[in-house]
Amino acid sequence: MIDIYVDADACPVKDEVYQVAGRYGLPVFLVANSAMRVPQGGAVEMIVVEQGPDAADDWIAEHVRPGDVVVTADIPLAARCLEAGACAVGSDGRPFSEDSIGGALATRELKSQLREAGGVSGGPPPLSVRARSRFLSALDKLVQAGLRNAR
């Protein structure tokens, strides 16, 4: 059995996660700094961690196992999950991999430096319908692969 972990504080695709998890009967752990509403009757558990910039990330990294799936836009968390043998996918549907994570970390660092210098401001754009569809497809593929490997 595999689990799905969601870095939930700013995750725009929670409903899509519930849809895929329900299809396969998988448990979902929403991890956040504050409580949020979860669907009734499903296998969704709300985990509220202490306040702090990396508390949710640390909880997920400590509990994730090989084959689990993590939904996060946080690149350092995705790297930690890949190191643990889990799969990670961004809320835009782009899966993280051993091949892509180094470049993603470098780009994140560059953008951080640009923000500090005042060259970049604002957050990511709202998630498009196409990105939501890409996310659903990517999550479904990762779950299927995880289930095959768990057998």
Domains of the chain (ranges, CATH numbers): 4-150 (3.40.50)
Q: What is the mean pLDDT of residues 123-146?
A: 89
Q: How confident is the model at residue 125 (pLDDT cuts 50, 70, 90)?
A: confident
* Distance (Å, whole) CA 23 – CA 115: 41
pLDDT > 70? residue 105: no
* Distance (Å, whole) CA 43 – CA 102: 34
Q: What is the mean pLDDT of residues 80-104?
A: 82
CB atoms closer than 10 angstroms to residue 43: 15
DSSP string, 46-68: EEEPPSSTTHHHHHHHHH--TT-
Which one-letter DSSP state was computed for residue 11?
A: -
* Distance (Å, whole) CA 33 – CA 52: 8
Q: Which residues contact 51 (CB under 8 A, 6 or more apart)?
A: 33
Q: What is the mean pLDDT of residues 6-16?
A: 92
* Contact of 34 with 87, CB cutoff 8 Å: no
* Distance (Å, whole) CA 111 – CA 135: 23
